[in-house]
């Protein structure tokens, strides 16, 4: 008797230990994952900039013929940037030397200069300093992502460019600042000009369309099946199929979207509208199943009390049962949507895996989504895209965490104990 009791206690302790170990292991994995992503991605939030001392004369702006109106638009800003670079390093004379000098700054520098002058045309004719974006190669060296002492064959910057970098650094014309571009720009082939705003907007539009379609449809289906539908072979058949739909691989929904929405309805390719519709198909089963569980958990006494006071079935459902089931319904919806936010496979088929520079302004504009941006950047050869990939993953994780947190809070706030 004594021995058996001991045995049982030991089994109990063993089980707890295993459980603890399982949680510990998954926490370690999760921690390692976060650590790697944060370590790789942190660099992307900083961007190296180079100071250029400019002196522009009005003559720079009316080369050729005098054009009215858009003369600020047409000027050759690239040439002005190059001239400023040459003036800063007059000792570099040969064509090769100058070319390697020009590669220190981003091709976006000319557009930065144009933007600055548009904001303040009075700068023309004065001396001013502009902090332009460094090229991705210079950026990677300055941040230390590429070692400085590597032999010349092992790095992207040659010795001349390294000495230019050091000269800039010594005279305080090189600095690292917060990378706003990353949060305000669309995609670009130049890592220093690339941002996630386009992808984030695309994801936002898709998720809104997805919610607008899947939420009412899902809740209505759940209410009807749970409260009104007769229990017969037909409803049984429908129930089984809803569960089946929840297990269908997401690429299949993409194929369906291609065949139905694009080829039959003639909707535009790459549009968040179509993306949202496809994601809605994917999210529907999750919402239906969660909503039905929530409705089922409302005690029958509530319904009976409503009937006893003379409520019609519809009134009983909409005035009493559904409001009580709402926390569960919302949790299911948010978890389903968070899942949809991370999908790429169905978007591939409807053309949302694409290079889109312009920010989408409505649900019909071509756009990508956050996970697609991660995929596209992970596939790019430029070293600087590696840290941007990790940074984009971080942003996606923050979004997903926020949505899940909302779900948890809603549940906490409205949860009722019977």
Partner 1 sequence: MSKKTLVIAAAAMVIVSGAAQARDQIRIVGSSTVYPFSTTVAEQFGKTTPFKTPIVESTGSGGGLKLFCAGIGDRHPDISNASRRIKASEVARCAKNGIDDIVEVKVGYDGIVIANSRKAERFKLTLKDIFLALAKDVPAGEGKLQPNPYTTWKQVNAALPATRIEVLGPPPTSGTRDAFVELAMEGGCKSFPWIKALKKADKGSYKALCHAIREDGAYIEAGENDNLIVQKLDANPRALGIFGYSFLDQNTDKVQGSTIGGEAPTFENIADGRYPVSRPLFFYVKKAHIDTIPGIREYMAEFASEKAWGRDGYLADKGLIPMSDAERADWNAKVSALVNLTM
Interface positions with partner 1 (CB under 8 A): 99, 103, 107, 111, 146-147, 150, 153-156, 188-190, 208-209, 211-213, 215-216, 262, 265-270, 273, 276-277, 351, 353-358, 363-364, 366, 376, 378-383, 386
Give the whole-angstrom CA distance, residue 135 versus residue 130: 15
Query: Which is nearer to partner 1, 261 or 399 (by Cβ)?
Result: 261
As measured in angstroms, the least distance from the Cβ of 14 to partner 1 is: 37
As measured in angstroms, the least distance from the Cβ of 381 to partner 1 is: 4
Query: Which is nearer to partner 1, 215 or 399 (by Cβ)?
Result: 215
Half-sphere exposure of 359 (CA within 13 A, CB side): 14
CB neighbours (10 Å) of residue 229? 14
Angle between helices 272-296 and 197-223 (to 10 degrees): 40
Query: Which is nearer to partner 1, 221 or 306 (by Cβ)?
Result: 221
Query: Which is nearer to partner 1, 328 or 366 (by Cβ)?
Result: 366
As measured in angstroms, the least distance from the Cβ of 277 to partner 1 is: 8
Give the whole-angstrom CA distance, residue 46 versus residue 17: 44
Contacts 24+ apart (CB under 8 A), 227-234: 227/295, 227/313, 227/317, 227/321, 228/313
Sign of CA dihedral 227, 231, 236, 238: negative
As measured in angstroms, the least distance from the Cβ of 294 to partner 1 is: 19
Q: What's the 3-state SS for 17-37?
A: HHHHHHHHHHHHHHHHHHHHH
Give the whole-angstrom CA distance, residue 36 versus residue 41: 8
Query: Which is nearer to partner 1, 181 or 298 (by Cβ)?
Result: 181
Query: Which is nearer to partner 1, 77 or 253 (by Cβ)?
Result: 77
As measured in angstroms, the least distance from the Cβ of 190 to partner 1 is: 8
As measured in angstroms, the least distance from the Cβ of 89 to partner 1 is: 19
Tokens of 72: 């600020």
Supply the DSSP string of 305-340, one letter for each residue: HHHHTT--HHHIIIIIIHHHHHHHHHHHHHHHHHHH
């Amino acid at each position: 008797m004594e021995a058996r009791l001991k045995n049982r206690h030991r089994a109990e302790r063993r089980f707890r230990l295993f459980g603890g170990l399982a949680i510990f292991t998954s926490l370690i994995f999760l921690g390692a994952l976060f650590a790697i992503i944060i370590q790789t991605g942190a660099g992307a939030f900083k961007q190296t900039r180079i100071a250029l001392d400019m002196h522009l004369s009005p003559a720079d702006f009316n080369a050729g013929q005098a054009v009215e109106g858009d003369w600020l638009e047409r000027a050759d800003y690239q040439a002005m940037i190059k001239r400023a670079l040459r003036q800063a390093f007059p000792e570099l004379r040969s064509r090769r030397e100058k070319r390697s000098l020009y590669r220190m700054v981003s091709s976006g520098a000319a557009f930065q200069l144009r933007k600055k002058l548009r904001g303040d045309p009075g700068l023309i004719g004065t001396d001013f300093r502009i902090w332009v974006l460094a090229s991705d190669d210079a950026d990677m060296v300055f941040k230390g992502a590429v070692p400085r002492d590597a032999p010349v064959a092992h790095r992207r910057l040659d010795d001349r460019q390294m000495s230019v970098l050091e000269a800039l650094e010594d005279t305080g014309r090189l600095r690292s600042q917060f990378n706003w571009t990353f949060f305000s720009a669309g995609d670009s082939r130049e890592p220093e000009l690339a941002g996630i705003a386009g992808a984030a907007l695309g994801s936002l539009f898709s998720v809104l369309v997805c919610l607008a379609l899947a939420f009412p449809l899902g809740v209505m289906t759940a209410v009807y099946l749970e409260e009104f539908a007769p229990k017969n072979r037909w409803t049984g058949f429908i129930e089984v199929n809803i569960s089946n739909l929840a297990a269908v691989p997401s690429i299949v929904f993409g194929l369906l979207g291609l065949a139905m929405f694009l080829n039959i309805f003639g909707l535009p390719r790459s549009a968040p509208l179509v993306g949202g519709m496809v994601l809605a198909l994917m999210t529907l089963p999750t919402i239906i199943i969660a909503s039905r569980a929530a409705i089922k958990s409302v005690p029958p006494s509530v319904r009976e009390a409503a009937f006893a006071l003379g409520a019609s079935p519809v009134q009983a459902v909409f005035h009493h049962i559904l409001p009580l089931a709402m926390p569960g319904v919302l949790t299911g919806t948010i978890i389903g949507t968070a899942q949809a936010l991370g999908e790429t496979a169905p978007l591939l088929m409807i053309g949302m895996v694409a290079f889109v520079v312009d920010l989408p302004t409505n649900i019909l504009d071509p756009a990508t989504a956050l996970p697609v941006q991660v995929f596209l950047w992970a596939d790019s050869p430029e070293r600087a895209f590696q840290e941007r990939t990790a940074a984009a993953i971080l942003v996606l994780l923050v979004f997903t965490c926020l949505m899940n947190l909302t779900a948890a809070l809603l549940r906490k706030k409205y949860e009722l104990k019977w």
